[in-house]
Homo-oligomer: A and B are copies of this chain.
Amino acid sequence: MTAHPDLTRNQSLVLHTLNAANGSLSAYDILDKLRAEGLRAPLQVYRALDKLVEFGLIHRLESLNAFISCADPQDHEAHAHGVTAFAICDSCGQVTEFHDHAIEHRLQQWQASRSFKPEKTTIEIRGACSNCS
């Protein structure tokens, strides 16, 4: 919630739009919401999104081609190099972010056994949340 001191105007607009959203938003969803603020082109949004992902303030959901604000950006340092998992309800759109050290450890074991150097790990569960089943 505390504004990142280094954010540009476009980055702030995009971050606040994602913070205000209930679930995830596509880049074009964001663009549509920000036309009133003067944004006109997809690149203005994509460039901001790239930076916000880099800062650890938002996540990209690969299976949705969409973006969501980080559940706990203050904790960024703590799990900056950790694995973030998501449970995504296909009915209501609710996205729950979680971290599981056991899973992370198991993945590290596999990577070590294959000398695979991980850059980014995606874990996404699509399904129905408790409210929707």
Contact = CB atoms under 8 A, between A and B. Distances in A.
Contact of A127 (B90, B100, B118, B124): B118
A123 interface: yes
Q: How large is the interface on A (under 10, 10 to 19, 20 to 34, 35 or more residues)?
A: 20 to 34
Contacts of A117: 127-128, 133
- In the complex this chain forms, how many copies of it are found? 2
Contact of A63 (B96, B98, B122, B130): B122
A115 interface: yes
Q: What 3 pairs between A and B have smallest CB-CB spacing?
A: A115-B130, A118-B127, A117-B128
Interface of A: 62-63, 85, 87, 89-90, 96, 98, 100, 102-103, 106-107, 110-111, 114-130, 133
